[in-house]
C-alpha cells in the first residue's frame, strides 16, 4: 500500500506514505490543507515529523541511538569528541589529515574578543550561566557579521571553538575568579577544564579520568534527533537567521527544566532527600502515590520505552568515576539507593521508569567537581555539534522554507468594537 485514503465532505483523498531508511513510516500531508481545506491537529507535535534528516536515528522501543549510522556504543568507546563533531556536521568520520586540520583550526579560534569581557562585567554575579551563555553566543553574530551568508564553515569552527570559552568564562564570573585564557597545547576537553578550574596562583594539570569522563558526556549528548532545542534551532534558522543567533535560541530552549535543566533538577532532588534525613523511601512512596504531585527527576524518557542506551553507558562510567576519584558524597549514595529501587521495583519496571541520561550525567558532573548551575551548560556544549549539523542540513536542503505551523482558533467570533473611554 503506497497511500492512505480519507473521506472528507463526500470526497476521497489519497495521502501518500513515506518510509525512512530504517523503516520508519509517515503519512505525507504536505498538500493536505491545499487539497482538503483541513489541517491536522497535533499538540506539541508528538506525532508530527517536521523534517527528514540523515543525521541521527533513534528507536525508542529497542533502545537504539546512532549518529550517521554508527552505534552510540562504538562512538563512546572509540571516538574523540571532535571526531564526533566532524561526523555529525560533515556526514563522515574524518581522515587523520582532516582530523588534525579540524582540531588545529578549532584551537586557533578558541580565543574571544577582549571586548567580550565587558559583557561579563554587566551580568550580576549570581546570573545563571545558561542565561549568560545564550546572550554571549548571540553576541558572537555582532563580531562576525561579514560571515552571515557566505562563510558558514568558518563560523562553524568559530562557534565550536569559542562556545567552551564563553561557558568557562560564565562560570568564572559566578565565582569571582579571574578568566583563564585558553591554551593551544591542550586538547578540547583539557582546555575547557583548564579554563574552568585553573587559577593564576597554581599550576593546573587535568586529571585523565575527568578528561575521559567529559569526553564521554559530550559525545552522548551530541545529538538526539528533533527534540525541543534542536527543533528550535531549525525553527529560528528557517527564517534565514545566522548560525550564532540560531544556536543561541537552542541554548535558550535547552535551559528549561523539562529539557536540559533536568540534570540539575536531579541533584536538587537528591539534596532535598538528603535534607530530609536521607529518607529516600518516603519520596519513592510519594512518586507511587497517584494523589501526589511529586515526581522523581531522572527517571523515564519521552522517546525511550526501553533503557536509554546513553544511560547504560553512563551508569558504567559513573561507577568507574566514583571509584577512580575516591568520591564519598552522601548525595551520590542516595542516588545509588534510588537507582537500585528503580531497577528492581515492579512499579518502575512496569511503567518503564528506568534511570535516564539526566540521572547519571548529574551524578558524574557532581563527582567531577562541576557545580550544579553548570550542568545545563555542559549539556549545551555537548549538544552544540548536533545543533550545528541540524542547522546546516536544513540550510542546504533545496526544499528549505520558513517554518509556519497552523493553529485551531478557539477565541471569540467577530466582536463589535466598543470604546470604553466614552
- 146 — pLDDT class (breaks 50, 70, 90): low
- Please return the burial class of 258, using the count of CB atoms within 10 Å of its CB with bins 0-12, 13-18 and 19+: exposed
Residue 276 domain flag: yes
Q: Is the pLDDT of residue 378 over 80?
A: yes
Domain boundary among 17, 49, 64: 64
Give Cα 6 to chain centroid, integer Å.
Answer: 38
Shared-domain flag, residues 17 and 160: no
What are the backbone dihedrals phi and psi of residue 368, each rounded to the nearest 5 degrees, phi first?
-80, -5
In a domain, 408, yes or no: no
> pLDDT at position 66, please?
97
Quote the pLDDT of residue 294: 85
Active-site annotation holder among 109, 301, 319, 329: 301
> Given this model, what pLDDT does residue 290 score?
83
Does one domain contain both 284 and 170? no
Segment 193-217 shows an average pLDDT of 94
- Residue 362 CA to residue 299 CA, distance in Å, equals 12
pLDDT of residue 339: 83
Q: What CATH number is attached to the domain comprising 182?
A: 1.10.580.10
Determine contact, residues 160/384, Cβ cutoff 8 Å.
yes
Q: Is the domain of 230 the same as that of 269?
A: no
What is the band of 110 on the pLDDT scale with cuts at 50, 70, 90? very high
DSSP tag of 370: -
As a whole number of angstroms, the distance between CA 380 and CA 270 comes to: 23
Residue 162 neighbours by CB distance under 10 Å: 24
**Averaged pLDDT for residues 363-377:** 91
Residue 71 counted as domain residue: yes
Query: Which residues have CB under 8 Å from 167's CB, separation 6+?
Result: 129, 133, 192, 374, 377, 378, 380, 381
Q: Does residue 285 sit in the same domain as residue 361?
A: yes
Q: Report in angstroms the alpha-carbon separations of 204 from 172, 178, 196, 245.
A: 15, 14, 10, 34
Percent of residues, the chain, with pLDDT higher than 70: 99
For the chain, the domain total comes to 3
Tell me, yes or no, whether 218 and 111 share the same domain. Answer: yes
> Residue 150: is its pLDDT beyond 70?
no
Give the closest residue to 357 by CA, choosing from 312, 295, 305. Answer: 312
Q: How confident is the model at residue 246 (pLDDT cuts 50, 70, 90)?
A: very high
Helix ranges, 109-151 (H) = 116-122, 129-143
Q: How many CA atoms lie within 13 A of 28 on its CB side?
A: 12
Place 147 in a pLDDT band, splitting at 50, 70 and 90. Answer: low
Percentages of the chain per state (helix, strand, coil), in multiples of 5: 55, 5, 40
**Residue in this structure with the C-alpha cell 531508511, named with its chain if needed:** 21
402's grid cell: 520558513
Mean predicted lDDT score pLDDT of the chain: 91
* DSSP code, position 213: H
For 217-244, how does the pLDDT look when each residue is reduced to its tens digit (9 = 90+)? 999 999 999 999 999 999 999 999 999 9
Q: What is the C-alpha end-to-end distance of the chain, expressed in Å?
A: 65
In a domain, 292, yes or no: yes
Assess whether 47 and 162 both reside in one domain: no
Tell me: the pLDDT tens digits for 258-278? 888 888 888 889 999 999 988
Q: What values do phi and psi take at 227, rounded to 5? A: -75, 180
Give yes or no: residues 71 and 216 share one domain.
yes
* pLDDT recorded at residue 289: 85
Q: What is the mean pLDDT of residues 114-136?
A: 92
CATH assignment at residue 341: 1.10.230.10
Q: Do residues 380 and 253 touch, judged by C-beta distance below 8 A?
A: no
Residue 416 is assigned to a structural domain of this protein: no
In a domain, 406, yes or no: no
Based on the fold, state whether residues 59 and 189 are members of the same structural domain. Answer: no
Tell me, yes or no, if 358 is annotated catalytic: yes
Name which of 132-136, 281-285, 300-304, 354-358 the model is least confident about.
300-304
Q: What is the mean pLDDT of residues 301-324?
A: 84
**pLDDT value at residue 327:** 82
Do residues 203 and 304 share a domain? no
**Any domain includes 233:** yes
Alpha-carbon distances of 338 from 63, 270, 278, 300, 305, rounded to whole Å? 22, 9, 11, 13, 19
pLDDT given for residue 84 in this prediction: 98
Report the pLDDT averaged over residues 64-73: 97
The pLDDT score that the predictor gives to residue 111 is 96
Range of the domain at 19: 3-64
Q: How confident is the model at residue 325 (pLDDT cuts 50, 70, 90)?
A: confident
Convert the pLDDT of each residue in 290-301 to its tens digit: 888 888 888 888
> Among candidates 344, 341, 366, which has minimal Cα distance to 271?
366
Give the CA dihedral 258, 259, 260, 266, nearest 10 degrees.
40
* Long-range pairs for 267-270: beta carbons < 8 A, 24 or more residues apart: 267/331, 267/362, 267/366, 267/372, 267/375, 268/297, 268/372, 269/296, 269/297, 269/298, 270/331, 270/334, 270/335, 270/338
Residues 53, 137 within the same domain: no
Domain end: 238, 256, 274, which one?
256
Domain shared by 246 and 283, yes or no:
no
Q: Which residue in the list 346, 358, 397, 419 is annotated as catalytic? A: 358
**Average pLDDT in the 155-170 region?**
96
Question: Contact at 8 Å (CB) between 51 and 401?
Answer: no
Q: Within this chain, do residues 47 and 134 fall inside the same structural domain, yes or no?
A: no
Is residue 320 one of the residues assigned to a domain? yes
Work out the angle at residue 212's Cα, subtended by the Cα atoms of residues 208 and 217, and round it to the nearest 5 degrees: 145
3-state secondary structure of 265: helix
Q: Is 121 a catalytic residue?
A: no
Which of 232, 256, 280 marks a domain boundary?
A: 256
pLDDT at 208: 92
Degrees, nearest 5: CA angle 363-364-365: 95
Segment 53-75 shows an average pLDDT of 95
Maximum pairwise Cα distance, the chain? 80
With a cut of 60, say whether residue 148 has pLDDT above it: no
Amino acid at each position: 500500500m503506497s497511500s492512505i485514503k480519507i473521506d472528507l465532505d463526500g470526497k476521497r483523498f489519497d495521502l501518500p506514505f513515506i518510509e525512512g531508511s530504517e523503516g520508519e513510516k509517515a503519512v505525507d500531508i504536505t498538500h493536505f490543507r491545499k487539497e482538503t481545506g483541513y489541517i491536522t491537529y497535533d499538540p506539541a507535535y508528538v506525532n508530527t515529523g517536521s523534517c527528514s534528516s540523515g543525521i541521527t536515528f533513534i528507536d525508542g522501543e529497542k533502545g537504539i541511538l546512532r549518529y550517521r549510522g554508527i552505534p552510540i556504543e562504538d562512538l563512546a568507546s572509540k571516538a574523540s569528541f571532535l571526531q564526533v563533531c566532524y561526523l555529525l556536521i560533515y556526514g563522515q568520520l574524518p581522515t587523520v589529515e582532516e582530523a588534525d586540520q579540524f582540531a588545529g583550526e578549532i584551537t586557533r579560534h578558541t580565543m574571544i574578543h577582549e571586548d567580550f569581557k565587558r559583557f561579563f562585567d554587566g551580568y550580576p554575579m549570581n546570573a545563571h550561566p545558561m542565561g549568560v551563555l545564550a546572550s554571549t553566543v548571540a553576541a558572537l553574530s555582532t563580531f562576525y557579521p561579514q560571515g552571515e551568508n557566505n562563510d558558514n564553515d568558518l563560523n562553524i569552527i568559530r562557534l565550536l571553538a569559542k562556545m567552551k570559552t564563553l561557558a568557562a568564562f560564565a562560570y568564572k564570573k559566578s565565582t569571582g575568579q579571574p578568566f583563564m585564557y585558553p591554551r593551544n597545547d591542550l586538547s578540547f576537553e583539557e582546555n575547557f577544564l583548564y579554563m574552568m578550574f585553573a587559577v593564576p596562583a597554581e599550576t593546573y594539570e587535568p586529571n585523565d579520568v575527568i578528561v575521559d569522563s567529559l569526553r564521554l558526556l559530550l559525545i552522548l549528548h551530541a545529538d538526539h534527533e528533533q527534540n525541543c532545542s534542536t527543533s528550535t534551532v531549525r525553527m529560528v534558522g528557517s527564517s534565514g537567521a545566522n548560525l550564532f543567533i540560531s544556536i543561541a535560541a537552542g541554548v535558550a530552549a535547552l535551559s528549561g527544566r523539562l529539557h536540559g535543566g533536568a540534570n540539575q533538577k536531579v541533584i536538587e532532588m537528591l539534596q532535598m532527600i538528603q535534607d530530609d534525613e536521607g529518607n529516600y523511601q518516603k519520596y519513592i512512596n510519594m512518586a507511587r502515590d497517584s494523589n501526589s504531585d511529586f515526581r522523581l527527576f531522572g527517571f523515564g524518557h519521552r522517546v525511550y520505552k526501553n533503557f536509554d542506551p546513553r544511560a547504560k553507558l553512563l551508569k558504567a562510567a559513573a561507577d568507574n568515576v566514583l571509584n577512580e576519584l575516591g568520591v564519598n558524597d552522601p548525595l551520590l549514595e542516595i542516588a545509588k539507593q534510588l537507582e537500585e529501587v528503580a531497577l528492581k521495583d515492579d512499579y518502575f519496571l512496569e511503567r518503564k521508569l528506568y534511570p535516564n541520561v539526566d540521572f547519571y550525567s548529574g551524578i558524574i558532573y557532581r563527582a567531577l567537581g562541576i557545580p550544579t548551575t553548570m550542568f545545563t551548560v555542559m549539556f549545551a556544549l555537548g549538544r552544540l555539534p548536533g545543533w550545528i549539523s541540524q542547522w546546516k542540513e536544513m540550510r542546504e536542503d533545496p526544499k528549505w522554507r520558513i517554518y509556519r505551523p497552523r493553529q485551531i482558533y478557539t477565541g471569540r467570533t467577530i466582536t463589535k468594537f466598543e470604546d470604553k473611554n466614552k
